[in-house]
Structure 1
């Protein structure tokens, strides 16, 4: 099995494992499908009768406390086991509002201070829990009344009331973080991918399609952190609007970066005209979409569809990797289209990380291919240089000044078979005479000798004109010289020596 296939299969296994259902917990959901909503003219903290003017029955999911104060009355059906449970219970409210709650006519707590105007209101937390006194609930139908106001919100949402339920008492942020925990697993892939490929692109001064891959990973990681911030801290509800804007902005940046990467990789002619038209349509559709969830889904769906069409077109033209891009983007787009809400909550970061893994593998393969080409070109250039040096040495041999035992002499480098390091000295094996000890280090000697000398070991420099053969043995490798002597070859340097002699 190929390495990149193993990586993708491992990632798919992690995705499936992360989608296992959580341990069951008994939760009594408040009936927010049909609640009585009252908006009173006067300011009061006493629950109304819910039967006068200004009160109506409506779908609670469409109720909004944005820029106003309202009263809500609803019911919750408590099972027998929960009513008699020894565990402490809590009323959980996730809504963009300050709130005050009553259960069966008894006030159980405040989340901020709801009021009729912004000056009097104290913003509450987005996710709050009110402890329910033991014995207050009974099996069957119970009444819940909530006073809400949202004067400090910035954006009016379609469904600002997310969740109302009674369950075992716990910190809401802990519960939310546990739900988000599987999404944190891809964070490492996104951050490491952004850093590695960002540095690689900058070092290569490639500010085109290769830089857009780490940017896609970086924006996805930022979107992930914005998403899970709800589980890190129980923030006040006005920050929820900022969080939603950040999620949408990073989703747009992720989608656009992905689209531009595919565009610049596979299209040449008219690509910027195509990019301009596509982005104008993209911006218009986002502007008129309802709700932040739908906007965030479209922010990712449309660019991936654009990119998929480009990859399909490039595949028909025989572009390398285009077919793989098209298949990966088809799967990615399909998941967004058929499961938009679940995709954002559960699959998104795994799918983005999986898609980026695919792109990373493609980039790694391209990088390895380019590196092999550079190595071959360098090997050819080095071999050519050796040939030129050998020719130059035959036509005009260079001499090197040797200092030994206080005597200075000049020896033709073409007569030196090899040099052996001996501490601060070098032992020269010279054709037709006894070895010569030279008072210089091997490293300094290497800089003075012509390119016909090859470093084969940390202690040996060999004149390539004297090499007859390269032999491999159980103990290592060695060079057989025309003088009949042998020189060891370092395991680390052996590949370079083999290339030089090829």
Structure 2
């Protein structure tokens, strides 16, 4: 098996692994029976005092004006030694009675929107010890949810009775890592914005949008530590997390399209990603699932883009493939959205930052090759609404960068042009020859053409850089070399 065939086999294996990582766990879950849940407390829904039926509160829709839930708590000897508490996590207002006596409220329960005052999403009601009788105790919880502005599949997340524990302790332990990562994400956003404004690779508007969306998502996620808000705002918080996850996924998919130099194909991939994100946001009934499937859609789009790049022997595409497969596989881990999600993006941002530093150092120490004789023409390179003047003898090579072009000069400096590679090649046709869908070089700086090698045919420039040669451009390169 040749080097090219082995490389294509690796690309195919990684693509299949990505497909398995995307759909495999979901298919396995659909084929396997769900484990039986053992509720910690058996609750009954009572539309009338003499008409009660057992219900699973985790699947209960609070569709009545006022929903009354009852249970019997059997107090043992140890329940009098330590205080008890009833914990409610629900998008609803609540009123709690213990053996008929009102012991606490969360907001104000009402028969309609005007009469209800929204309660907090998470509340802890301490049960007075003198109210706890030995043996059975009747517990009644009345709930109303008239201030929901979007459908909620699971209004009640928790409704349980147990020993009192500080509610801040569990919340802090769960969200503190996310809060700490938020500071690093803020630095990543500032760094990406700085690179974009300075027009230094790998800075771009897409990367800045990606870091900003992930930062906003982390802030919304960790806001539970600093804010005490009513249940309608909890719904807004979940919507913000899902929305920012979709924005980040769109930016991730677009960022990966740097491996796909064909413009029409890039826009086709973007349209498919937007359609997948709409399905992710509108399809699953759970808000966490909306965010998760948005992330998976972005990773899948990135995987397709880097796979196309790997098939075209674009540099680093196979490495990016493996990263996409790993990112998809990790999305099935428990509590992925709380910590691992942000760690993955921080790893990506850290890698890009290291790349920027290495490129900067290489430009500082790279010796400039001796300029070739002649061709002292000055080129006018489009840069937004302005143009940059570059001497033709300083032009080394040009790489496609999404809808832009990254022009590398002989002294190692890089200029980001707002013209795409095809436009720039036509503009400087006397000084650039296309060797690949992603690369064009100044033929005056070609040192050697390697027809075979581990990465396939390549062009070696006088500064030692090697660039791949596409099949469609070999003839044009040979003509240029003969001329």
Interval of TM-score (by shorter of Structure 1 and Structure 2): 0.5 to 0.7
TM-score calculated relative to the size of structure 2: 0.63
Deviations 1:362-400 (A, max 9, x none): 344344445555xx34x968xx9xxxxxxxxxxxxxxxx
Identify the match of residue 71 of structure 1 among 56, 64, 68.
68
**For residues 159 and 242 of structure 1, do their structure 2 counterparts lie closer, same or farther at Cα, with a shift above 3 Å needed?**
same
Q: Distance in 2 between matches of 1:67 and 1:105?
A: 22
**Quick one: structure 1 residues 107 and 353, their matched pair in 2 at CA, closer, same or farther if it must change by over 3 Å?**
same
CA distance in 2, matches of 1:359, 1:66: 49
Please report how far the alpha carbon of residue 174 of structure 1 lies from its aligned counterpart in structure 2 after TM superposition: 5.1
Structure 1 position 318, deviation (Å): 2.3
Aligned match for 1:263, one of 257, 260, 266: 257
Q: What is the deviation of 1:168?
A: 4.8
Moved more, 208-217 or 96-105: 208-217
Deviation sequence 1:145-191 (CA, Å, 0-9, x none): 20000111112211111112334545635531332002223222211
Residue 39 in 1 paired to residue 47 in 2? yes
Residue from 125, 142, 145 that aligns with 1:147: 142
SS at match of 2:335: helix
Task: Check if 1:95 corresponds to 2:90.
Answer: yes
1:211 to 200, 205, 226: 205
Matched, 1:273 2:281: no
TM-score calculated relative to the size of structure 1? 0.60
- Give how far 1:93 is off: 0.8
- Return closer, same or farther for 1:78/1:345 CA change in 2, 3 Å cut-off: farther
* Aligned-pair CA distance for 1:330: 1.1
Q: Where does the alignment leave 5 or more consecutive residues of structure 2 unmatched?
A: 1-36, 374-483
Distance in 2 between the 1:284 and 1:160 partners? Answer: 22
Write the mapping of 1:246-325 to structure 2, written as runs, cut at 5 A: 246-269=240-263, 270-325=265-320
Q: Following TM superposition, by how much is the alpha carbon of 1:253 offset from its aligned partner in structure 2, in angstroms?
A: 0.9
**TM-align CA RMSD:** 3.0
- Provide the C-alpha distance between the structure 1 equivalents of 2:277 and 2:103, rounded to a whole number of angstroms: 48
SS in 2 for 1:179: helix
What secondary structure does 1:344 align onto?
A: coil
Query: Which is higher, the Rg of structure 1 or of structure 2?
Result: 1
Tell which has more relative contact order, 1 or 2 (C-alpha 8 A, sep 6+).
2
Distance 1:235 1:30 in 2: 31
Cα 1:326–1:185 change in 2 (3 A) is: farther
SS where residue 337 of structure 2 aligns?
A: helix
Q: Residue 331 of structure 1 aligns with which residue?
A: 326
1:230 corresponds to? 224
**What secondary structure sits across from 1:186 in the alignment?**
helix
User: Secondary structure of the equivalent of 2:116?
Assistant: coil
Deviations 1:74-104 (A, max 9, x none): 34566654x1434x43221111111011234
Deviation at 1:32, TM superposition (A): 6.6
| Aligned partner (choices 226, 234, 238) of residue 244 of structure 1 | 238
Residue 52 (structure 2) pairs with residue 58 (structure 1): no
The match for 2:81 is: 85
The answer on whether the counterparts of 2:86 and 2:161 sit within 8 Å (CA) in structure 1 is yes
The 2-side partners of 1:335 and 1:252 are apart by 18
Give 3-state SS (helix, strand or coil) of 1:119's partner. Answer: coil
The superposition leaves residues 440-472 of structure 1 with CA deviations (integer Å, 9 ceiling, x where unpaired) of xxxxxxxxxxxxxxxxxxxxxxxxxxxxxxxxx
Q: For 1:358 and 1:214, how far apart are their aligned partners in 2?
A: 15
